[in-house]
Structure 1
Amino acid sequence: MAKYLLLKHYRGAPTPSNDVPMEHWTPEEVDAHVQFMRDWAADLEKTGEYVDGQALAPEGTWVRHDGEGRPPVTDGPFAETKDLIAGWMIIDVDSYERALELAGSLSAAPGAGGRPINEWLELRPFLSMPPAADCH
């Protein structure tokens, strides 16, 4: 089994498959979108492939150490773009191909008018360390 992180990016600007930004969706359209993701996760819980997931608030802050003990803080999470990470899910699957299949199915979550939004999802494998060399 291999774990993968699915990052859901929200883009404020419309795309060809999502011609209405989410802030203009009806409450029923937002509910349908969220329910699709809940159902998707519930199906994967039954197969043991779903690990965890959370939605993220749009507010955020960039923080880094400044070398003098006071971290500088900058509004974020992405002040220069309309793109932000809206949430994440972790899956644990048998293969990269299965991870691609699941990411593709999640990408079809409904949006305005019930049409699939075909959103881009970032699929990232968890870093795995090679086994330690046996020195005996």
Structure 2
Amino acid sequence: MRFMMVVKASKDSEAGIMPAPELVDAMMRYNEELAKAGVLVAADGLHPSSGAIRISYPEPGGKPKVVDGPFAETKEIIAGYTLIEVKSREEAVEWALRMPDPHGFGEGEIELRQVFDFEEIIADPELHARENALRGRLVKDN
């Protein structure tokens, strides 16, 4: 089971203020623990939404709408993520609870979301084979 720990943005992360060295060190130790346990898939911080582009589809079948950042509501913006692969929801929660406050100062907020496995979305064996082939290429190319 894969889970994404979505780190919500804060005023500081949206202002481009880098975390204190102590926080970076704590996050690095946490990521090293995840890697050592064999559950870390990916972990990255994101640039502020001032450089982001939001693409929406306001009308079915219509032309996409492009809006440049920044975006106003920080609670709706993502500052980073950690993707883990674990055996259960409970294990995912345990790992999420061990993450240091991602912004410090008691401002961090993490949303834990399970990632769909392709088999949960589509039952067609041909599409499964295509998806597996694509995933195999992505791993090899990186």
Percent of paired sites with the same residue: 25
The structure that is helix-richer by fraction is 2
The equivalent of 2:32 in structure 1 is: 42
Contact 1:33/1:109 (<8 A) preserved: yes
Residue 107 and residue 56 in structure 1: after superposition, are their counterparts in 2 closer, same or farther (change >3 A)? same
Aligned residues: 115
The two structures have a TM-score, normalised by structure 1, of 0.68
Distance 1:64 1:31, change over 3 A: same
TM-score of the two chains, using structure 2 as the length reference: 0.66
Unaligned runs of 5+ residues in structure 1 are 13-20
1:57-136 matched pairs, under 5 angstroms: 57-58=47-48, 59-64=51-56, 67-68=62-63, 71-76=64-69, 79-83=71-75, 84-108=77-101, 111-112=104-105, 117=106, 119-128=108-117, 129-130=119-120, 132=123
Distance, in Å, in 2 between the alignment partners of 1:111 and 1:74 is 30
Per-residue deviation, 1:86:
0.6
Structure with greater proportional strand content: 1
Paired with 2:89 and 2:79, the residues of 1 have a C-alpha distance of: 23
Give CA deviations for 1:114-135 in whole Å, capped at 9, x if unaligned: xxx372211111112248489x
CA RMSD of aligned residues (A): 2.9
Contact 2:27-2:100 at 8 Å conserved across structures: no
